[in-house]
A and B are shown apart, each in its own frame.
Chain A
Amino acid sequence: MATPLLEVKDLVMHFPVKSRSVISRTVGHVKAVDGVSFTVAAGQSLGLVGESGCGKTTTGRLITRLQKPTSGQILFEGRDIAQAGPRVLKPLRREIQMIFQDPYTSLNPRQTVGEIVGAPLVIHKLVPSNKRLAHVQELLEVVGLNPEHYNRYPHEFSGGQRQRIGIARALTLQPKLLVADEPVSALDVSIQAQVINLMQDLQREFNIAFLFIAHDLSIVRHFCPEIAVMYLGKIVEKAPREELYEHPKHPYTKALLSAVPNIEQAILGGRRERIRLSGDVPSPINPPSGCRFRTRCWKAQDICATEEPLLRRVGAGADEAACHFPEQ
């Protein structure tokens, strides 16, 4: 089997919690990411779904190495970059790029679009300066912006157009992997679809792999053939999308799906079983023993508190779930 583009093994990120006494010391850890493993093949996309605080954004920041993980491996084209220093990382930044959630705060308001999109070219000295403008204009055209607008400032654009600028910036270095952290959740519905379609076109055209991080199950389903669901720093289920949406195996996935409001079902009736989770997600400083979802799970038994379920193949398909009592 060929080496996948990205292979993440047992990734862990613990943030220390300081006490508030006179001499501060570490009294615990926020276990933001706690043993996460997955692979992304070249040109493919993996969806990472979960609610706020589940560790999906931290996972994205670790893979782009904006942060250094506590432990674990991040194999990019077979090379472990988890603990790599700046010298190794600089060329790597060309290969892995990020698209951010908020197109309003992630673009420098004092730089023109041309400067924003062209900056990576300057930093990595890729294109001679006399060809830079043509290159930037070409990129703007690719993402559906008017190339004549290269010397305008971000505030002159709408939210959707700004996100296109963010995408153009990420594309400048022709990356192999794009980590998109909630790329459309700040946009209006009618604009979301424009940006999703654009990213899909780009993926096909340039064979870019995506790690698509989102809380919105329906958008992930549309974009990613394979999806991993996170809860409290762990992946609880990983499956091809048909399996995940038609036959979720983990109770949390099931609850998550049933919580999404759905036009057709509400209008036509015949709705699925509605599962309402009670309470809030427990603290990631002191996660529940055994299975982390057990405190809110309607199927929990004694074993769930004592033994942590591992992610394993469930059923006939490729569906993997971390549950002692998976759905059939």
Chain B
Amino acid sequence: MIAFAIRRILVGIVLLLAMVLVVFVLFFAAGNPARDVCGKYCTPQKLANITQVYGYDKPITYQFGQFVKGLAVGRDYPVDDKYREALQKSNPSLVIHCDAPCLGYSLRSAITVNDAIAKYAPVTISIAVYAFIIWIVFGVLFGVIAAVFKGKWLDRVIVGVTLVVYALPTFFVGTFLLQFIAIRWKLFPYPRYVSIADGGVFNWLIGLTLPAMTLALFYMAAYVRITRAFVLESLSEDYIRTARAKGLTERVVLFKHGLRAALTPLLSMAGLDFAALLAGAVITEAVFSYQGLGLLAVISNRNSDLPILIGLVIVAGAAVLAANIIVDILYAFVDPRVRLS
């Protein structure tokens, strides 16, 4: 079991490195990144300077090696050793140290990629976790209810409503919640992000509720349908008939025998969807003007801020990989056939 986990993690690290390589090559193949930071009044002299100081003149394999080294042990900027040592003597505050795992340095924004992401990540993670909880709890709950009352009016209502919700685009739901629930009808305080440090847990939650709902609704609708299908499938299995033949009550048959098998495959789906959700919060953040990773991505893209974009891609990829590994390990815990075969 532990060997299995270690092997999964090792494979994950190899995959991550491969991904970093692909991203690195793709981005730098586009041209000299120094050109993007050189600015409006770029002179050949200035461009050559930046290129040299940030090591963009070195072969890409060398740059990649340095980047990976930075990921492992951290690195200092500017990259060029002689220039940096000189700078250290003349103006030490301009030498920037970036701790491992160093994702790079954005000259354009004058900030390490790590700091940029650390600044924007809490908003996104908060919304995503909140949304995840809403969607799992209500998605599974309504899915199970629909399955148990299959064919009855309750089932039809749930299936009908989810179909409608499923079809609504996120920006529409977000705009509706903001314009009507919060602004026009004032059913809910106007959403703005308050960190726990600033406003306490309660205000933090209040601020997150509308964006989280916006994000959760689509997934929730999807999960109602998936859960319903899984539960129905599970309830038609032979072992459910066995459980009934034992004389167990319907409650035990459903909750102990039916749901366990039905919800296990949901586990793996939910893990992957959560990782995707982290990366996909852009629209929600835009609608509510929240300062999250989605916004960072939009800004960086507009500014052609390559280092930050690379950092974001790596973080998103790492999140997906991590979710994969966690799901695999959890799955082995839940299903003895995976664990003991």
Chain A contact residues, CB within 8 Å of chain B: 20-24
B6 CB contacts on chain A under 8 angstroms: 22
Give chain B interface residues in 169-195, CB to chain A under 8 Å: none
A-B contact pairs, 9 of them (CB 8 A): A20-B3, A20-B4, A21-B3, A22-B3, A22-B6, A22-B7, A22-B10, A23-B7, A24-B7
Q: Complex: how many Å from CA A20 to CA B10?
A: 14
Interface string of B1-44 (1 = CB under 8 A from A): 00110110010000000000000000000000000000000000
Q: Complex: how many Å from CA A187 to CA B7?
A: 44
Q: Complex: how many Å from CA A24 to CA B7?
A: 9
A20-B3, A23-B7 given; 7 more Cβ-contact pairs under 8 Å: A20-B4, A21-B3, A22-B3, A22-B6, A22-B7, A22-B10, A24-B7
Chain B contact residues, CB within 8 Å of chain A: 3-4, 6-7, 10
**Nearest A-chain residue to B6, judged by Cβ:** A22
Interface residue SS majority, chain A: loop
Q: Closest 3 interchain pairs by CB? A: A21-B3, A22-B3, A22-B6
Q: Complex: how many Å from CA A238 to CA B47?
A: 85
Q: What is the minimal beta-carbon distance from A18 to any residue of chain B, in angstroms?
A: 11
Q: Complex: how many Å from CA A24 to CA B6?
A: 12
Q: Complex: how many Å from CA A22 to CA B4?
A: 7
Q: What is the minimal beta-carbon distance from B328 to any residue of chain A, in angstroms?
A: 14
**Nearest A-chain residue to B7, judged by Cβ:** A22
Interface residue SS majority, chain B: helix
Q: Complex: how many Å from CA A23 to CA B6?
A: 10
**Nearest B-chain residue to A23, judged by Cβ:** B7
Q: What is the minimal beta-carbon distance from B13 to any residue of chain A, in angstroms?
A: 13
B7 CB contacts on chain A under 8 angstroms: 22-24
Q: Complex: how many Å from CA A21 to CA B225?
A: 39
**Nearest B-chain residue to A19, judged by Cβ:** B3
B4 CB contacts on chain A under 8 angstroms: 20
B10 CB contacts on chain A under 8 angstroms: 22
Of A20, A22, A23, A24, chain B has the most CB atoms within 10 Å of the CB of A22
Q: Complex: how many Å from CA A188 to CA B233?
A: 27
Q: What is the minimal beta-carbon distance from A30 to any residue of chain B, in angstroms?
A: 14
Q: Complex: how many Å from CA A23 to CA B7?
A: 7
Q: Complex: how many Å from CA A100 to CA B27?
A: 52
Q: What is the minimal beta-carbon distance from A26 to any residue of chain B, in angstroms?
A: 16
A21 CB contacts on chain B under 8 angstroms: 3
A20 CB contacts on chain B under 8 angstroms: 3-4
**Nearest A-chain residue to B10, judged by Cβ:** A22
Q: What is the minimal beta-carbon distance from B5 to any residue of chain A, in angstroms?
A: 9
Q: What is the minimal beta-carbon distance from A295 to any residue of chain B, in angstroms?
A: 24
**Nearest A-chain residue to B4, judged by Cβ:** A20
Q: What is the minimal beta-carbon distance from B121 to any residue of chain A, in angstroms?
A: 32
Q: Complex: how many Å from CA A23 to CA B3?
A: 9
A23 CB contacts on chain B under 8 angstroms: 7
**Nearest B-chain residue to A21, judged by Cβ:** B3
A24 CB contacts on chain B under 8 angstroms: 7
**Nearest A-chain residue to B9, judged by Cβ:** A22
Q: What is the minimal beta-carbon distance from A186 to any residue of chain B, in angstroms?
A: 18
Q: Complex: how many Å from CA A22 to CA B6?
A: 6
**Nearest B-chain residue to A24, judged by Cβ:** B7
Of B3, B6, B10, chain A has the most CB atoms within 10 Å of the CB of B3
Q: What is the minimal beta-carbon distance from A25 to any residue of chain B, in angstroms?
A: 12
A22 CB contacts on chain B under 8 angstroms: 3, 6-7, 10
Q: Complex: how many Å from CA A22 to CA B13?
A: 14
**Nearest B-chain residue to A20, judged by Cβ:** B3
Q: What is the minimal beta-carbon distance from A27 to any residue of chain B, in angstroms?
A: 13
Q: What is the minimal beta-carbon distance from B337 to any residue of chain A, in angstroms?
A: 14
B3 CB contacts on chain A under 8 angstroms: 20-22
Q: Complex: how many Å from CA A20 to CA B8?
A: 12
Q: Complex: how many Å from CA A108 to CA B10?
A: 39
Q: Complex: how many Å from CA A173 to CA B49?
A: 73
Q: Complex: how many Å from CA A20 to CA B338?
A: 12
Q: Complex: how many Å from CA A309 to CA B299?
A: 79
Q: What is the minimal beta-carbon distance from A15 to any residue of chain B, in angstroms?
A: 15
Q: What is the minimal beta-carbon distance from A318 to any residue of chain B, in angstroms?
A: 44
Q: Complex: how many Å from CA A21 to CA B6?
A: 9
Q: What is the minimal beta-carbon distance from A16 to any residue of chain B, in angstroms?
A: 16
Q: Complex: how many Å from CA A78 to CA B157?
A: 70
Q: Complex: how many Å from CA A81 to CA B206?
A: 73
Q: What is the minimal beta-carbon distance from A201 to any residue of chain B, in angstroms?
A: 38
**Nearest A-chain residue to B341, judged by Cβ:** A20
Q: Complex: how many Å from CA A22 to CA B1?
A: 10
**Nearest A-chain residue to B5, judged by Cβ:** A22
Q: What is the minimal beta-carbon distance from A22 to any residue of chain B, in angstroms?
A: 5
Q: Complex: how many Å from CA A300 to CA B10?
A: 50
Q: Complex: how many Å from CA A221 to CA B4?
A: 48
Q: What is the minimal beta-carbon distance from A285 to any residue of chain B, in angstroms?
A: 14
Q: Complex: how many Å from CA A21 to CA B2?
A: 9
Q: What is the minimal beta-carbon distance from B94 to any residue of chain A, in angstroms?
A: 45
Q: What is the minimal beta-carbon distance from B2 to any residue of chain A, in angstroms?
A: 9
Q: Complex: how many Å from CA A22 to CA B3?
A: 5
**Nearest A-chain residue to B1, judged by Cβ:** A20
